[in-house]
């Protein structure tokens, strides 16, 4: 990857320098085809057995994936990885999103199960664990959540005490809802020490390590989920990952990267759901015509495609920004020092893609009608499996708070991060331009407010998070549509719809926020008048645009890049 020219300043929203085309190179297309073949030939025929807790089969699938080089996209070549960058790693996660609950096991392994060693491991730890994780010989897992520490993940009761005589750490506690629990050979475990939360490497074969019963879940039944039980587990100092008392730093940074990986997987599953809906709609006839000929069904298909396009653009933009960070940083410490700046990118993508997937699978089931509720139809499983995505790797609520807190951290350091750059081509899109003006007005209103609601009222924070999220997505789709050659006319139409509809959602939130935090009627009216004086474009024919999008989706039997 070539070095990218960039400034030291971290920009909040995507710009031309941080946007990539969705036109993939031949090597990337080959990777996608390899994954598609792996899923069709190995994963899909195994789903029933995986859901019956066939652990040996699950381990074999990991070894097969390792043989194909699919487990090491994020891992340096020095440790048998492919070192392909976040964009290609995102493509791997997206295509694996077609793999039912195995995709959950896969992304946990390649994400939180592997990345802690990549970013925080010593050379000796990397040498010991990464080659085994890349080959699929070992499966990785991540143990953070506890019965009394869910969203407040760092309120750990699992303890690690240093035995002064032996020089060993002694771990005790339970970690709940651990993905890959019954098939994992190694766990990254977070425990409370005198110096603070610390990360430890715990191998399954160690004395005192045991696994509880499989949890009975609503969905993703083919991925192992159980409690990790630690009873006087003795660890050498070599099993400490990162610095003692700095485990929270590992936890938060790795979770951010995992959130982006999850967004990619959601994009893949969403594309699968749309294809199922289109194919069923073309086969099913009512009132003597195919369902896809009804314009209300076409509207659903168009909205599903729009949500996929938005999620896809935002995810690849974020991946490219992280690739830029890696290329332009002088060393690992430089990367780690700046990684937290991208928490906002990762949380935006996690929220947007997971909520888009929920919407898409719901509409896909609706198009199936009563048949969609029956287990013999695949969309029923997709519907159940999708629900977890708004919960794990941080709930949508926690991620919205992260968006706001990350934004305020950047904004308070440099208020120019939301200023308009009139020299950039996207400034020609007035919906994006005025959306940013709305954000500026919101921040002015906060500075004029006679209370501290921004920090206290989570409803206000939620609305502000949605404003930031929507602008990020609008920028992403607009710039990606301009950069992508394939189906450019369609993508530009989709960008137009997303920007127009996005603006009105932002305006609604801005009005509610201002009306809630400004008590003086004259001040409130002045802010609202400023909004009402915007010179917006003439409203477009969204119905016609969505019919055009739907016709393309129907013609292609689903979403096409």
Cα-based angle 13, 19, 21 (whole degrees, multiple of 5): 150
393 is catalytic: yes
The first and second tokens of residue 155, run together, are: 């309120």
3-class secondary-structure state, position 211: strand
Phi-psi region of 6 (alpha: psi -120 to 50; beta: other; left: phi over 0): beta
Q: What is the CA radius of gyration of the chain?
A: 24
- Local structure of residue 389 (DSSP, 8 states): G
Contacts (Cβ under 8 Å, ≥6 apart) of 152: none
- Local structure of residue 518 (DSSP, 8 states): -
**Is the Cα dihedral 365, 561, 481, 18 positive or negative?**
positive
Catalytic residue among 324, 393, 475, 500: 393
The first and second tokens of residue 27, run together, are: 């090597």
Cα-based angle 235, 238, 242 (whole degrees, multiple of 5): 110
User: In the chain, what is the greatest distance between 2 CA atoms, to the nearest angstrom?
Assistant: 82
The first and second tokens of residue 203, run together, are: 């191998």
Residue 407 to residue 506: CA distance in whole angstroms: 16
- Local structure of residue 170 (DSSP, 8 states): E
Residue 398 to residue 468: CA distance in whole angstroms: 15
Judging by DSSP bridges, how do beta strands 196-203 and 159-163 pair with one another? unpaired
45 neighbors 502 (Cβ within 8 angstroms): no
What one-character-per-residue DSSP string does 343-365 give? HHHHHHHHHHHHHHHHHHHHHHH
Residue 470 to residue 454: CA distance in whole angstroms: 19
The first and second tokens of residue 4, run together, are: 């990218």
Where do runs of H (alpha helix) occur along 287-391? 295-328, 332-339, 343-368, 378-386
Residue 479 to residue 517: CA distance in whole angstroms: 34
Known catalytic residues are 393
């Amino acid at each position: 990857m070539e070095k990218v020219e960039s400034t030291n300043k971290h920009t909040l929203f995507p710009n031309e320098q941080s946007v990539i085309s969705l036109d993939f190179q031949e090597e990337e297309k080959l990777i996608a085809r390899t994954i598609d073949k792996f899923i069709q030939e190995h994963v899909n025929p195994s789903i029933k057995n995986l859901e019956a807790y066939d652990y040996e089969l699950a381990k074999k699938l990991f070894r097969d994936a390792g043989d194909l080089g699919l487990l090491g996209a994020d891992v340096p070549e020095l440790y048998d990885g492919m070192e392909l960058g976040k964009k290609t790693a995102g493509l791997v996660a997206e295509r694996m999103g077609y793999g039912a609950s195995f995709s959950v096991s896969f992304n946990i392994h390649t994400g939180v199960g592997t990345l802690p060693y990549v970013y925080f491991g010593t050379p000796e730890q990397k040498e010991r664990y990464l080659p085994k994780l890349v080959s699929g010989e070992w499966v990785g897992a991540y143990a953070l959540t506890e019965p009394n520490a869910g969203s407040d993940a760092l309120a750990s009761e699992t303890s690690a005490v240093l035995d002064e005589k032996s020089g060993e750490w002694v771990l005790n506690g339970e970690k709940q809802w651990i993905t890959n629990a019954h098939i994992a050979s190694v766990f990254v475990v977070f425990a409370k020490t005198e110096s603070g939360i610390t990360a430890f490497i715990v191998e399954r074969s160690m004395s005192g390590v045991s696994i509880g019963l499989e949890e009975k879940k609503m969905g993703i039944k083919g991925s192992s989920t159980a409690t990790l039980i630690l009873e006087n587990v003795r660890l050498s100092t070599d099993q400490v990952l990162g610095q003692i008392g700095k485990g929270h730093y590992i936890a938060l940074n790795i979770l951010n990267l995992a959130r982006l990986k999850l967004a990619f997987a959601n994009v893949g599953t969403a594309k699968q759901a749309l294809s199922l809906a289109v194919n069923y709609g073309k086969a099913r006839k009512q009132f003597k015509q195919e369902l896809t000929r009804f314009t209300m069904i076409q509207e659903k298909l168009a909205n599903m495609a729009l949500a996929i396009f938005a999620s896809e653009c935002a995810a690849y933009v974020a991946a490219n920004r992280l690739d830029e960070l890696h290329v332009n940083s002088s060393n690992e410490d430089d990367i780690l020092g700046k990684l937290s700046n991208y928490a906002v990118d990762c949380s935006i993508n996690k929220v947007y893609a997971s909520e888009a997937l929920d919407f898409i699978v719901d509409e896909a089931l609706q198009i199936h009608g009563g048949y969609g509720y029956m287990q013999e139809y695949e969309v029923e499983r997709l519907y159940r499996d999708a629900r977890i995505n708004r919960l794990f790797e941080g709930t949508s609520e926690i991620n919205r708070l992260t968006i706001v807190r990350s934004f305020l951290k950047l904004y308070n350091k440099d208020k120019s991060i939301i200023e308009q750059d009139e020299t950039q081509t996207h400034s020609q899109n007035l919906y994006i331009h005025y959306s940013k003006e709305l954000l500026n007005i919101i921040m002015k209103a906060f500075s004029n407010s006679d209370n501290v609601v921004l920090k206290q009222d989570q409803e206000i924070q939620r609305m502000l998070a949605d404003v930031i999220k929507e602008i990020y997505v609008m920028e992403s789709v607009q710039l990606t549509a301009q950069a992508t050659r394939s189906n450019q006319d369609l993508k530009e139409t989709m960008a137009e719809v997303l920007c127009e509809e996005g603006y009105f959602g932002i305006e609604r939130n801005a009005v509610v926020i201002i009306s809630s935090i400004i008590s003086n009627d004259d001040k409130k009216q002045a802010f609202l008048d400023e909004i009402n004086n915007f010179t917006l474009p003439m409203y477009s024919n969204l119905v016609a645009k969505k019919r055009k999008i739907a016709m393309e989706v129907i013609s292609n039997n689903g979403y096409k890049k």
